[in-house]
Structures are given as structure tokens and as C-alpha cells.
Chains A and B, each alone.
Chain A
Amino acid sequence: MDLSEHLFRREAGRMVSTLTRIFGPQNLALAEDVVQDAFCRAVEVWKFRGVPDNPSAWLMTAAKNRALDVLRRERTARTYEPELNRLLQSEWTLASTLQERFSEHAIKDDQLRMMFSCCHPRLSEEAQVALILHILCGFSVREIASAFVSGHAAIEKRITRAKKVFVKSDLFDVSETDNVAQRLPAVHRALYLLFNEGYHGASPEMAVRRELCREAMRLMSLFLRDPLQAMPATHALAALMCLHAARMPGRLDAAGNLSSFNDQDRSKWDRGLVVEGLRLLELSATGSELTEYHVEAAIASIHATAPRPEDTDWGRIVSLYDALTSLRPSPIVALNRAIAIAQRDGPEAGLETIRTTIDNERLAGYPFYHATLGELELRCGRCDVAREHFEASLVLARNPTERQFFEQRIAACTASGRTPMEANETQ
């Protein structure tokens, strides 16, 4: 039997969550050791005897047995949860409690609990995301650093600090409805940022980015199963993820290069995900709360359902960006709004919007800011100005795929410069 892809990484998140629930957050390092030990055993045994029929169950049992060993041996050496201390008095209660704690349902709860716990208010958003990736998704510090194109030392510091806060706090109580409602926005935000890092992030490897998106969606699905957690915003965020992920396969052309939005091969979009996204978007339309996820999902749904770029309802998109600007203003939202205005009213209007609404200093380091200016200038027929903007974006390119894309746009400026008539015809 072959192992399914990333099985170990995923099981790591499940096992650490459950073991931390058993040992208490102060013993996170112990939980991680037990998991590491289970993997070592798995590799050692499976290489000789083959992968068992149910590798997940095998790993969980290995972790459970090891946890029992630890609890028996270190009964007094460590402090556990008061509840567990009581159970430790008797061998019978210990074994049966652990059995229950390793049930499929309990493990799911433990992952949710862990997700809420990782989004501790004392941690920055970046730290929450890093902690989720590390604990719940089983990524090592090195793997996170490479996915975020960030220094190993910086990520390590971030995670070490976050763990210090984590081990000193209680695990989040997911049965307290008020607490859940209070912390849910932070959890949503962390999953949104995780997804965005995969979708728009700087990692040069498409496989890595796709994996980050998939992880965000996997964690998201844990919420959807639970009626207590599945608020309208939860459905909206899940819809947003589906509708974006549906379009991911179209972002690269046959040669593996980044294609601009209008040139994407829409037949490559994942119809199943579009349908699922629209279903979730419908579910999100209850209650009185309108979140940025609702608006972003609505924008994504317009793109995902337009058969051709020219079928896009840009007027509606502009008004949705207006709504987003009042909900959560950001330079990137302002830039996207300007692009939508350019699509609706022409490139000059788009440029004018950028000039009047965007603080260009805050976007000066963002390659696609310059590329947008380039694209709009090019559509106005000012090829030389356009080329300068694309050259600025080329300097800022964060990976080879982006670099290649901007080079291709510079080449387009040169080509249009030579044949101005043709360039005008494509307007």
C-alpha cells in the first residue's frame, strides 16, 4: 500500500492536537516528542513490513501507547491538567480515558481547540499563522521559512516566541459559545491569511503555494462540520477559498508561465469548486453581519461565473470594492478597485483613480502596483511610460515566474511601440 501524499504532515497536526489536550499546553514539547517518536517507529517498522492498511490508525495507536508510557513513567515528574491527575491514580481509568481521547470525534474537536488556541490575542497575526502551520499542519520551521520566502532565523524566532505564549495559556474552551464568537474572527483571519499566502504569496514553487491553500481549506472544513462554529462569515470565507482555488489551475499557461487574468484559459477552472463555492456563498447569506469575506466571495463569484472576460459585470465589481473599502480599507483593495474602474470606464479613469485614491508610497514595494500602472499606460498607448513601470516591477519581482511575466510585458511594450495602430485596435 502506498502512503497518501502529505499523510505524515497531516497526522502530525492531529496527533499533536490530541496529545496536547491530554498532556496540557504546558507540555507541548512533550507532545511533539511523542509524535516524532511515533513517526520514527512507523518508518522503522513499515520499511521492513510494508505500510499497514490503515496508516493513520497505526500512527495514532503508536502515539497513544507512547503517551501511556510517558504518563506511567512521569506520573509525578510533570504537572498535567488537574482532571488528568485524577485519572492517573488508576490504571483502568487512565487507559479507558486515553482510548476515548483518541476517538475520531475527539481528535476533530482537538484540532478545532488547537486552532482557537493558536489564535491567542497576545500573538500577532503573523505569529498565529506560523503557529497554525507548525502545529496543525506539521510544517517544520525550515519548510515554513521557504514557503514564506522568509529567513529561517526570523521564522524560528516567531514560532519560539509564539510557543512561549501558548504553553503559558490554557487551551481554548470551544464549548463556551461566547468565547467562540469572540475569537472566531481572529481564527477566520488567520485562515484567510494562510490561504492568501498560498494564492498571492511570493514562494516560487506553485506546488508549495497550492499546498498552503489546500491546508487552509482543510482546516476550514473542520469548522463547516460543526454547527456551533459555522457562522455566516465561516461560510463566506469557505466560499471565497473555493472560488479562488477553482481558478488556480488557469493561472499558469501551458509553458508554466503566469498568465494575465484576461488571458487565462477558463476551461481549466475547476467547475466542481465553483459550484461548491456558490453553494457556500448562498449559505453565508443569513444573519445581519456582512463581512469582508462575503464581499470578496461575491467578487470572486462574478469572476468565476463569467464565461469570457468580456462577460464580467465590472459595474457590480466596482460597487463591491466600494463596500470592501468601507469594511476593510487597504492599499491592495484600493488598487483592485482602480483596476475594476479601469475595466468599466477605461484605462484613463483607472489611472485617475490610482492617482487620487492610492498612497503610492505604501505600494511602492509591491511589484503588481507598478505592473498595473504599466498595463493601464500601455492600454492608453503610452508605451514608453508603460515600459518604465514594468521595469520597476521587474526589479521588485519576488520569484522567477513573476520575473518572466514582467519581462514578457516589457517585450509587449516594445512591440506595441513599433506598431501603434495594432495596439490601438486591441483596446
Chain B
Amino acid sequence: MSDFTFLYRGRETNLSPEQMQRTMEKWSAWFKELSAKGHIRDIGQPLEHTGKVIAGKQKTIIDGPFAEAKDVVGGFTLVEAIDLDEAVELSKGCPILEIGGSVEVRPIQKSTM
């Protein structure tokens, strides 16, 4: 088994309240399914959409991240899967895809090769 991070990008902004609730219910169902199959190592955390970016030797502090709403990471989950292929398969059920968002699947580097 290997560990992966799912990074969720995109925000459910232009939905009606009813659609928002549906979306919420889909997320619960999806996490429940992943969890039942033993794929969730850590369900993760939601992230605020704005914060600060500290950059360079000057330690310049700017408001950030500067990105389109659809590109901002809104949360992450630690997932366990056999390999990248399986992790990708699992990510396909993510409700964020339905609203035009994306899931970035990144293998977590192992300490020994």
C-alpha cells in the first residue's frame, strides 16, 4: 500500500441552496465509501481560500494565494491505495469534478526507495 494526497481545487459558488445541499450529501457519501473500503488514512482539513504567501530571502509577505477561484486548494485528504492507478480511480468519484473543479493526486514520497 502507498499513501497519496488528494488536493481539491475549485469552489461550489454558483449553486442554488438545494444544489449545495446535494453537493454536501455527495461528499459525505463519497468519504463514507472510501472510508468503508479502508482508503482513508486521514480525511484531512478544509482550507481557507485566502491567507498569506511568504516569499524569498526578503521574506516578502503578500496576501495570497493569487489564483483564480478554481485553482485555489480548498482542502486535502490522505488516501491509501495500492498504486497511483488505483488512487486515480478512487479520485474519479470526487463530487468536486461535477462542478468543474479538480483533484490533484500526489503520491507521498517514501522514506526508503
Contacts and interface: CB of A to CB of B under 8 A. Distances in A.
A143 B17 CA distance: 11
Interface stretch (A86-94, A104-112, A134-142): A134-142
Given A139-B16, A143-B16, A45 B46 contact: yes
A6 interface: yes
A43 B23 contact: yes
B27 A43 contact: yes
Contacts of B107: none
Contacts of B74: 44
B70 interface: no
Contacts of A139: 16, 18
Nearest to A142: B16
B59 to A, nearest CB: 27
Nearest to A5: B21
A42 B74 CA distance: 13
Interface in B61-105: 74-75
Interface string B18-52: 11110111011001000000000001111000000
B24 A48 contact: no
A41 B44 CA distance: 16
Given A8-B20, A42-B24, A43-B24, A48 B45 contact: yes
Contacts, number: 67
B21 A48 contact: no
B18 A9 contact: yes
A170 B13 CA distance: 29
A39 interface: yes
B106 interface: no
Contact of B12 (A3, A12, A40): A40
Nearest to B44: A48
Interface residues of B, number: 22
Nearest to B28: A47
Contacts of A11: 17
A286 to B, nearest CB: 38
Given A48-B45, A48-B75, A40 B11 contact: yes
A8 B13 contact: no
Interface string A12-52: 10000000000000000000000010011011111111110
B31 A9 contact: no
A40 B20 CA distance: 8
A12 B19 CA distance: 12
A46 B28 CA distance: 8
A39 B44 contact: no
A335 B18 CA distance: 38
Contacts of A49: 46
A7 B17 CA distance: 9
A275 B24 CA distance: 38
Nearest to A11: B17
Contacts of B24: 3, 8, 42-43, 46-47, 51
A402 B24 CA distance: 35
14 contacts: A8-B18, A9-B17, A39-B15, A39-B20, A43-B12, A43-B20, A44-B11, A44-B46, A47-B27, A47-B46, A49-B46, A50-B28, A139-B18, A143-B16
Given A7-B21, A46-B28, A47-B75, 5 more contacts: A8-B18, A8-B21, A44-B74, A139-B16, A142-B16
Interface of B: 11-13, 15-21, 23-25, 27-28, 31, 43-46, 74-75
The 9 closest A-B pairs by CB, nearest first: A140-B16, A47-B27, A8-B17, A8-B21, A12-B17, A44-B46, A138-B17, A9-B17, A39-B20
